[in-house]
Amino acid sequence: MPRKLHPNIDPAAPAWRVASLWRTNSRFARAIGRTPSTTHDWLVKGIIPQEAHADVIAAAKRDRKALRADHFVDRRLFASTPAAPAIEASAA
């Protein structure tokens, strides 16, 4: 039976998309050389600090994880943004 996700962790957040490549928070933390409490804080906040990105990318390459740049992007920010109005060419 799969473990339940902590109620304060959003699976749509970038931190979850990245960490879930390692299947558990402990494996993710070990892979990037951080403590599980640190990576758990990132999961609750939903983002991985920019200063940790290089370590995460290096660990993903080493562990052959399919990490992409868009894993770090918070797609939730773009989902609620209204579309820009169309620009009409003026007849001059």
What are phi and psi for residue 61, nearest 5 degrees? -65, -45
Q: Between these two residues, 68 and 3, which has the higher pLDDT value? A: 68
Q: Between these two residues, 31 and 77, which has the higher pLDDT value? A: 31
| Amino acid of residue 14 | P
Distances 88 to 11, 12, 66, 92 between C-alpha atoms, Å: 39, 36, 41, 12
Residue 60, pLDDT above cutoff 90: yes
pLDDT tens digit string along 18-58? 999 999 999 999 999 999 999 999 999 999 999 999 999 99
Please tell me the pTM assigned to this model: 0.77
Average pLDDT, the chain: 86
Query: What is the token pair recorded at 77?
Result: 């920010």
How large is the average pLDDT for residues 63-75? 91
